[in-house]
A and B are shown apart, each in its own frame.
Chain A
């Protein structure tokens, strides 16, 4: 409990320090679900235009970056910050990184990662003798 309180206070002070804004990024909340042949990752990235989005899969890493257009003036009342997004994921070997596809719609990024053919469920024919 003590750790939680400390972290929360640290977070509160970070939010108030304006000079740090340029370097700050937000980690977008992500849903991940599995289908038979793919993993689907959905990331909430409101404010990101398609031109400001970057999805890079390199070896075992998937990196998602999104640039937003920040409002000219600081809000008078604020519940969220429109900030650039950044989040990285580790990809395991059983994923087909060449087959990754991504779409962006209404501020939600959808990344589809196919499983390698080797790990997809295979039906084994049974012979009767």
Chain B
């Protein structure tokens, strides 16, 4: 196998469709093959998603390669931010609330970063990252609850009826 073929096999559009090979097979090496179609397509989807969507996301706050993905949802009582942080230990994660919003900083564990290894396939993101999530008004920023479990960070902000500096104005009826 020539070098060009090896490199080519890593590019999704150069992969042989009938074999769904994910990495070049070295002589006597390990073959990585997806037996089914959907999983492979999902893989391709992810790759395309990274290529197409990520550079567009919040320019200025984040860098291309190191942005964790977030989900947000709102209930009557709270706003919940969920962040994908696989490989990040609680000690390596730092949350702050600034005027910009919730700032999430972190680092994936060192196994991936510090040592040069003989990699056959690299799809994960690793290294340090920072992500700023703008928060809507009306949240109690003094009492957020954060939980890190199985590589997913969940931060909950309770809603408040009256924000700081807000005062209810009584209305006299005549």
Q: Contact residues of A with B, CB < 8 Å?
A: 3-4, 7-8, 10-11, 14, 25-27, 29-35, 39, 42, 44-49, 61, 71, 73-80, 82, 86-92, 94-95, 104, 106-108, 113, 119
Contacts and interface: CB of A to CB of B under 8 A. Distances in A.
Interface string B13-26: 10000000011010
B38 A25 contact: yes
B150 A27 contact: no
Given A31-B119, A49-B150, A119-B28, A89 B33 contact: yes
A94 B42 CA distance: 29
Given A3-B13, A46-B152, A107-B85, A33 B49 contact: no
Given A27-B46, A32-B23, A42 B29 contact: no
A46 B84 contact: yes
Contacts of B30: 32, 34, 39, 89, 91-92, 95, 113
Nearest to B74: A76
A54 B57 CA distance: 34
B109 interface: yes
Interface in B68-117: 69-75, 82, 84-89, 109, 112, 117
In this complex, the interface size class of chain B, counting residues with CB under 8 Å from chain A, is: 35 or more
Nearest to B148: A106
Contacts of B49: 11
Given A33-B118, A75-B71, A108-B86, 14 more contacts: A7-B48, A8-B52, A25-B39, A34-B117, A35-B118, A46-B84, A47-B150, A78-B72, A79-B57, A79-B70, A79-B71, A82-B82, A82-B152, A106-B150
A107 B86 contact: yes
Contacts of A95: 30
Q: Which of B45, B69, B72, B119 has the most CB of A within 10 A?
A: B45
